[in-house]
A and B are shown apart, each in its own frame.
Chain A
Amino acid sequence: MSEVIWDKTVSDVNDGILIGVNKPNLSFYFALTISVTCLLIGAVAWGYQIAFGMGIAGLNSPVYWGVYITNFVFWVGIGHAGTLISAILFLFRAKWRNSINRSAEAMTVFAVITAGLFPLIHVGRIWFAPYWMAPIPNTNNLWVNFRSPLIWDVFAISTYLTVSLLFWYMGLVPDIASMRDRSHGFKKILFNFMSFGWVGSLRQWHHYEAGYAFLAALATPLVLSVHSIVSWDFAMSVQPGWHTTIFPPYFVAGAILSGCAMVYTIVLPLRHMFQMEGFIRKEHLESLIKLTLLTSTIVFYAYSIEFFVAWYSGNEYEWAVFQKRAFGPYAFYFWVMVFCNCLFPLAFWSRRVRQSYVLCFIICVLINVGMWFERYNIIISSLVEDFLPGSWGHYEPALVEMLITVGSFGWFFTWLLIFCRFFPIVSMSELKLIMPKPLNPTKKPHGEV
């Protein structure tokens, strides 16, 4: 990363960030209004689906996993960059992550919660879900099938959500203590409770640092495992197009690509809404774009290798599925995926593009579109045509499915914006560590401590 030119000092951090939190500009309210509107549209669509049954969704035989499972995989993928930025980049001592890790962690938590909605939406009559799932073991004394990828997924996603929540909250504790020290009355009591009575003593920092490093070390394999396990939902079946060993790394790379693009998509507007330009510098955003470019090239490679493996395997069913993906009735989705995930991000090789907020934002939004279509393409094109031509079918998403998808974006952004309105979107205590150290100018202007 090129050297960051700071026009703020450590003394400006708390003032600048907390004032921004308390007084967002008008665009925040505009964004919140749009998000809540989308959320309401989705809620009405879900209510409509519950009232009229799953028949109004486009799901049919043989495509029982349609847009809902696409959304599930998409949102779990979005959640991956948060922990990548928080944990993996922390272990690699990439300092630039300190300015965006809070937004990325919040994004992770809300994205995984959003993903968790989709299996519930997908079951249709949601009130039957707890009825059939509990008790364990069931009335025939049967346990869940621990050999099933679906139960692996339940454990992986639940662990991921819990660990991400813990990581996120522990990062917030020193900042909430800072907010407490500026508050009065009930707010002060509340923030003191929420920060566990944190005082910032060296003893606390010492154990906090050690614990944070251990959490990062635990979260790193977790990030890689979660989307691998999500990919096994597909790869453990014998369905052509799904049954391939490349799926785990392919899914992980895709998840990190979509997550990085989504972090940029949310950080850029939030930076403007909360006047954080002095703290989230253009160099930090450029580093994020470089990471997006890196993961995009990995995804590009994975797409190519997937095709090569399908051809080289000599399995005619596998190869037929891949040919149809590129040139069959679902080719449009395939080419959207290729252009958005592989070709458009190549523009990031240009420094001029990387430094243009508008272009980067547009390409990152396109990457998110592409990653959504990647999951759609994987799920639909494999399900419509399996081994038996007699069971082949066709799938187009119904209006209600699209509206629920819009609603999921509304749900995600509403929670994210509400969080940003009450808590700092930049980790103040971590940001201070990457800014110029507060050294006595009369003593050693450029010297070591």
Chain B
Amino acid sequence: MSSDVTEKKGVLAVFKYLDDTCEALKKIKGRPECRQYEVYAPASYHELIEVAEEKMGTSQVRWFTLVGCLSGVTSGFGMCLLADYDWPIIVGGKLPGIYSLPAYVIFGFELMILFGAIATILGMLVMGRLPNPKNHVFDSRLSDDHFAIFIPNMDRDSEVAQVLKTCGACEVKSV
């Protein structure tokens, strides 16, 4: 999938209907000149994600979540154990003290969730290439009720642009 940043020039086909967008996407996605396409939608319609599946793959956000959770659980237990080590409670002369692991499960669990959630948000942002205040919004309708396919380095008179129009694009423009 191409970058969201639209420094490049290209052609933007705006669609009113979801099925038209899917059909257009199916027709153009195999073409060598359309490898860098990007699709815009007002909501996360799974139909579109399924059509573009081979481009998308499985989201890598899961690795962020996993690393966050593991570091959280380690930090939770580590924090309590370090405090024990720093101020040992000696019972019956047994050193280095009491490590109340069942009680520390709570800290391991809570920090696992906390770090995991923060890392997930970071993953969503990093993988979605956010924050990016310079992102150019092609058309204000795209966050409302319209869909769009953007193909960089393409002319509006090209064959691909014609295909997009045939599939039901309500507007095909150079951007």
Mark contacts of B26-58 with chain A using CB atoms, 8 A cut-off: 1 yes-contact digit, 0 otherwise.
000000000000111111110111001000101
B interface SS class: helix
Instruction: State whether the Cβ of B4 lies closer than 8 Å to any Cβ in chain A.
Output: yes
A229 vs B106: C-alpha distance in the bound complex, in angstroms? Answer: 9
B58-90 contacts to A (CB < 8 Å): 58-62, 65, 69, 79-80, 83-84, 86-87
Instruction: State whether the Cβ of A26 lies closer than 8 Å to any Cβ in chain B.
Output: no
Tell me whether A221 and B133 are in contact in the complex, defined as CB-CB below 8 angstroms, given that A146-B104, A181-B143, A449-B19 are known contacts. Answer: no
What is the CB-to-nearest-CB distance from B63 to chain A, in angstroms, rounded to a whole number? 11
Instruction: State whether the Cβ of B8 lies closer than 8 Å to any Cβ in chain A.
Output: no
A146 vs B103: C-alpha distance in the bound complex, in angstroms? Answer: 7
Tell me whether A199 and B113 are in contact in the complex, defined as CB-CB below 8 angstroms, given that A166-B121, A170-B121, A181-B140 are known contacts. Answer: no
Of A288-296, A311-319, A409-417, A430-438, the one contacting chain B is A430-438
A158 vs B114: C-alpha distance in the bound complex, in angstroms? Answer: 9
- Is B106 within 8 A of A438, CB to CB? no
- Contacts across chains A and B counted by CB atoms under 8 Å: 218
What is the CB-to-nearest-CB distance from B112 to chain A, in angstroms, rounded to a whole number? 8
Mark contacts of A28-67 with chain B using CB atoms, 8 A cut-off: 1 yes-contact digit, 0 otherwise.
0000000000000000000000000000000000000000
Tell me whether A162 and B22 are in contact in the complex, defined as CB-CB below 8 angstroms, given that A143-B86, A208-B44, A214-B62 are known contacts. Answer: no
- Is A155 within 8 A of B107, CB to CB? yes
Count residues on chain A whose CB falls below 8 Å from chain B CBs: 67
- Is B4 within 8 A of A162, CB to CB? no
- Is B38 within 8 A of A197, CB to CB? no
Of A6-14, A363-371, A397-405, the one contacting chain B is A6-14
- Is B114 within 8 A of A163, CB to CB? yes
What is the CB-to-nearest-CB distance from A412 to chain B, in angstroms, rounded to a whole number? 24
- Is A211 within 8 A of B124, CB to CB? yes
Complex: chain B residue closest to A217, CB-CB = B65
Tell me whether A155 and B111 are in contact in the complex, defined as CB-CB below 8 angstroms, given that A196-B131, A208-B44, A229-B106 are known contacts. Answer: yes
What is the CB-to-nearest-CB distance from B19 to chain A, in angstroms, rounded to a whole number? 4
A206 vs B126: C-alpha distance in the bound complex, in angstroms? Answer: 13
Instruction: State whether the Cβ of B163 lies closer than 8 Å to any Cβ in chain A.
Output: no
Q: Which of B4, B45, B137 contacts A204 (CB 8 A)?
A: B4
Please give, as numbers and ranges, the residues of chain B lying within 8 Å of A388 by CB-CB distance.
none
A162 vs B140: C-alpha distance in the bound complex, in angstroms? Answer: 32
Instruction: State whether the Cβ of B129 lies closer than 8 Å to any Cβ in chain A.
Output: yes
Count residues on chain B whose CB falls below 8 Å from chain A CBs: 69
Instruction: State whether the Cβ of A440 lies closer than 8 Å to any Cβ in chain B.
Output: yes
- Is A209 within 8 A of B142, CB to CB? no
Please give, as numbers and ranges, the residues of chain B lying within 8 Å of A275 by CB-CB distance.
none
Instruction: State whether the Cβ of A215 lies closer than 8 Å to any Cβ in chain B.
Output: yes
Instruction: State whether the Cβ of B18 lies closer than 8 Å to any Cβ in chain A.
Output: yes
What is the CB-to-nearest-CB distance from B80 to chain A, in angstroms, rounded to a whole number? 4
A198 vs B128: C-alpha distance in the bound complex, in angstroms? Answer: 9
A378-395 contacts to B (CB < 8 Å): none
Please give, as numbers and ranges, the residues of chain B lying within 8 Å of A201 by CB-CB distance.
1, 4, 38-40
Complex: chain B residue closest to A189, CB-CB = B133
Please give, as numbers and ranges, the residues of chain A lying within 8 Å of B69 by CB-CB distance.
218
- Is B61 within 8 A of A207, CB to CB? yes
What is the CB-to-nearest-CB distance from B66 to chain A, in angstroms, rounded to a whole number? 9
Q: Which of A193, A207, A222 contacts B124 (CB 8 A)?
A: A207
Tell me whether A214 and B120 are in contact in the complex, defined as CB-CB below 8 angstroms, given that A14-B145, A143-B83 are known contacts. Answer: yes
Instruction: State whether the Cβ of B152 lies closer than 8 Å to any Cβ in chain A.
Output: no
A438 vs B20: C-alpha distance in the bound complex, in angstroms? Answer: 10
Instruction: State whether the Cβ of B153 lies closer than 8 Å to any Cβ in chain A.
Output: no
- Is A166 within 8 A of B107, CB to CB? no
Complex: chain B residue closest to A15, CB-CB = B144
Please give, as numbers and ranges, the residues of chain A lying within 8 Å of B44 by CB-CB distance.
205-206, 208-209, 429, 433
Please give, as numbers and ranges, the residues of chain B lying within 8 Å of A304 by CB-CB distance.
none
A55 vs B91: C-alpha distance in the bound complex, in angstroms? Answer: 40
Tell me whether A438 and B16 are in contact in the complex, defined as CB-CB below 8 angstroms, given that A143-B87, A201-B40, A433-B45 are known contacts. Answer: yes
Instruction: State whether the Cβ of B175 lies closer than 8 Å to any Cβ in chain A.
Output: no
Mark contacts of A153-177 with chain B using CB atoms, 8 A cut-off: 1 yes-contact digit, 0 otherwise.
0011011001100110010001001
What is the CB-to-nearest-CB distance from A401 to chain B, in angstroms, rounded to a whole number? 30
Instruction: State whether the Cβ of B94 lies closer than 8 Å to any Cβ in chain A.
Output: no
Please give, as numbers and ranges, the residues of chain A lying within 8 Å of B48 by CB-CB distance.
202, 205
The 8 A-B pairs of least Cβ separation, nearest first, read A210-B59, A211-B124, A196-B131, A143-B83, A181-B140, A197-B135, A207-B127, A440-B17
Could you list 5 further interchain pairs (A-B, Cβ under 8 angstroms) beyond the known A163-B114, A437-B47? A13-B144, A207-B128, A214-B120, A438-B17, A449-B22
Contacts from A to B (Cβ < 8 Å): 9-11, 13-14, 137, 141-144, 146-147, 152, 155-156, 158-159, 162-163, 166-167, 170, 174, 177-178, 180-182, 192-193, 196-212, 214-215, 218-219, 221-222, 225, 229, 429-430, 432-433, 437-440, 443-444, 447, 449
Please, could you name 30 A-B residue pairs with CB atoms under 8 Å apart, sorted by A? A141-B87, A146-B103, A152-B103, A155-B110, A159-B110, A159-B114, A163-B113, A166-B117, A178-B144, A201-B40, A202-B38, A202-B49, A203-B1, A203-B38, A203-B129, A204-B4, A204-B128, A207-B124, A210-B59, A210-B61, A211-B124, A214-B65, A214-B116, A215-B117, A215-B121, A218-B113, A218-B116, A229-B106, A439-B17, A449-B18
